[in-house]
Amino acid sequence: MESADAPLPGAPGRRRATAAMVADRAQVSTATVSLVANGKSRGRVSAVNEARVLQAIHELGYVVDGIGSSLSRGVSSTVIMVAPDISNPFFANVIAGVRTALGQDYQLLLSVTDAGTLPSAADTRRLLSLRPAGLLVDAPDEAFLEELSAPDPLVLLDAPGLGERFAAVNLDVAHGARELAGHLAAAGHRKVAYVDGITGTATFELRRAAFLAAADALGLEVPDAACLATTIDVGVVASEFASVWPAWQQAGVTAVACATDTHAYGILQEARARGLRVPGDLAVAGFDDLPYSRTSNPSLTSVHLPGEELGRQAAQQLRRLMAGEMLEDQELTLASSLVVRGSTTVD
């Protein structure tokens, strides 16, 4: 009968149990406790001792101290993920993938900064002083990587163009962009607009460049005036669109491609507010293929990006690096593909 207020010998008060206390109670050395607690006892600890240690661990509620362990081993079992934009449905998928691949062996911790910003040099140094076993960086920019200068296990996500210098998992957004341009051209559009993100994120530049190039090759014209760039906010997009639409209409624009689905939602909303038929008067499409795009009204044609897969693969690469392995492919690229829905086609 163990009651909480009758402190067990070796577990005085509410102090957390140490390996020494466990060793005491099990009548073994702390070396043995360490072996058992870390599952390294195979052929190195007798069955009897193993049982006693396990018993003592259970009784004292012992958990290996992360700090002591990290100091001794030189690294922690923490994986830190740095990301500029946490409040984004797409990002939630990426995280889910990372967690899946990391499993129980590493603890995932997120380092967040202000919207759209990466940590400063000082922040980064403090982060590294926690000795993470590995680092995952989403949508990094040059400046950040400069500061980092760390050859620690590091994998970049969604960092097109950086795969030469760092391990990275990227999305082949260009392929989807070309499919989208092809789809719009095939549907008979001749003049299209492009709505971009306003942060200079590499993936956005890639989306736009690939789309514009493909459009050009297909004889799809993107009038100079028909380009817009806004923050990723439905309301902002809607109001900006409201003010440029007359000019676009004048120019003969009949379709809009957007850098993200969220941008597209803004267009859909405003189009509806002014009685435009979608896709009749205006076809709309985006990138990301967020869950909502399946159920929006009309449903949204979008370039599907495998967010969860992105997270999973990045975490798998990181695991290899953390295990000291070499990477077969330093850069991985995941396919994207167009999902055609109601916002660009009538059934």
Partner DNA sequence: CTGAAAGCGCTTACAG
> What residues does 287 pair with on adjacent strands?
303
CA angle 89, 90, 95 (to 5 degrees): 95
Contact with a copy of itself (CB under 8 A): which of 78, 199, 330, 333? 78
User: What residue type is 133 in one-letter code?
Assistant: A
Q: What are phi and psi of 168, to 5 degrees?
A: -150, 150
DSSP count for the chain of H helices, then E strands: 13, 12
Residue 10 binds which of a copy of itself, DNA, none (CB < 5-8 A, kind-dependent): none
| Cβ proximity to a copy of itself, 43 vs 275, nearer residue | 275
55 sits near DNA (criterion: CB under 7 A) = no
State the minimum distance, in angstroms, from the CB of residue 219 to a copy of itself.
35
State the minimum distance, in angstroms, from the CB of residue 238 to DNA.
51
Q: Which residues in 63-122 contact DNA (CB under 7 A)?
A: 64-65, 67-69, 71-74
Judged by CB under 8 A, the stretch of 46-54, 201-209, 276-284, 286-294 that binds a copy of itself is 286-294
| Cβ proximity to DNA, 63 vs 109, nearer residue | 63
In sequence order, what are the residues at sequence separation of 6 or more whose Cβ sits closer than 8 angstroms to the Cβ of residue 314? 97, 98, 101, 136, 155, 156, 157, 169
Residue 55 binds which of DNA, a copy of itself, none (CB < 5-8 A, kind-dependent): none
Contact with DNA (CB under 7 A): which of 11, 32, 133, 207? 32
Torsion of CA 267, 210, 253, 228, to 10 degrees: 50
Residue 305 tokens read as 């990006």
Bridging pattern class, strands 337-339 and 301-304: antiparallel
301 sits near a copy of itself (criterion: CB under 8 A) = no
Residue 325 tokens read as 């392995």
The C-alpha atoms of residue 185 and residue 197 are separated, in whole angstroms, by 23
Contact with DNA (CB under 7 A): which of 9, 13, 39, 43? 43
The residue to which tokens 């994986």 are assigned: 79
| Cβ proximity to DNA, 142 vs 325, nearer residue | 325
The radius of gyration of the chain from alpha carbons, rounded to an integer in Å, stands at: 27
State the minimum distance, in angstroms, from the CB of residue 266 to a copy of itself.
9
96 sits near a copy of itself (criterion: CB under 8 A) = yes
Residue 114 binds which of a copy of itself, DNA, none (CB < 5-8 A, kind-dependent): a copy of itself
User: What residue type is 125 in one-letter code?
Assistant: R
User: What residue type is 114 in one-letter code?
Assistant: D
- Within 10 angstroms of residue 346's Cβ, the number of other Cβ atoms is 10
49 sits near DNA (criterion: CB under 7 A) = yes
125 sits near a copy of itself (criterion: CB under 8 A) = yes
The C-alpha atoms of residue 97 and residue 243 are separated, in whole angstroms, by 39
Residues forming contacts to a copy of itself in the complex (CB under 8 A) are 14, 63-68, 70-71, 76, 78, 80, 86-89, 91-92, 95-96, 99, 107-115, 123, 125-131, 151, 233-236, 238-239, 269-270, 272-273, 291-292, 294-297
